[in-house]
Chain A
Amino acid sequence: AQSVTQLDSQVPVFEEAPVELRCNYSSSVSVYLFWYVQYPNQGLQLLLKYLSGSTLVKGINGFEAEFNKSQTSFHLRKPSVHISDTAEYFCAVSKTNSGYALNFGKGTSLLVTP
């Protein structure tokens, strides 16, 4: 089975500072990797995904993530955060066969303050 560990439950950061949200996965087979964001009182929105190809993936809102197979990681980064980035961020993994359900991490709460 595939599983995800998000190493930080909460990450406080000042506005315009860089941020990294950590995600490690465990799987015996090839995987797809995803980051979703959930703004307060809203549903989940896809930030970015890694399916194949370049290991550096760029997503919406200036976020990017790098797939590192040797370290089984898929950390999310943004060079300069905004107040509006305050949200819950979920890393997820699935098998590469189509249609398999996502297994999510427990989430990282990003709190951006002035």
Chain B
Amino acid sequence: GAGVSQSPSNKVTEKGKDVELRCDPISGHTALYWYRQSLGQGLEFLIYFQGNSAPDKSGLPSDRFSAERTGGSVSTLTIQRTQQEDSAVYLCASSSFISGNTIYFGEGSWLTVV
């Protein structure tokens, strides 16, 4: 597609439920990133996928968070047993050599845990 596409754009969930957030990167981009943006916390790196290499999971805040990238394209970020502090905007981004390694962001998925 023309840009990074994320769904859902908004999600309200009850505390303790699991949620899945989807990211469709720009076609041909080999690198995919997940960030979290919380009020007053800025942009927090979560996880990074590059081609077929093992993902860099160093930013995941707890073992309730996981992500996968199937077929080197679409990625799903899963949050299990959601907590109120998980409320944030989850941003996906992608990049490649073709883009000069510029990272392009999606519009984000707004997650509210009630």
B residues apposed to A, CB below 8 Å: 30-31, 33, 35, 41-43, 45, 48, 50, 56, 59, 91, 93, 95, 97, 100-108
**CB pair B91 A99 closer than 8 Å:** no
Indicate whether A102 reaches chain B with its CB closer than 8 angstroms: yes
A72 to chain B, nearest CB (A): 19
Interface residues on A, range: 20 to 34
B23 to chain A, nearest CB (A): 12
Residue of B nearest to A51 (CB): B100
10 A–B contacts, CB within 8 A, in A order: A36-B105, A43-B107, A45-B105, A46-B102, A49-B102, A90-B42, A98-B101, A101-B56, A103-B45, A106-B42
B53 to chain A, nearest CB (A): 9
**CB pair A101 B105 closer than 8 Å:** no
Q: Which residues of B contact A98 (CB under 8 A)?
A: 97, 101
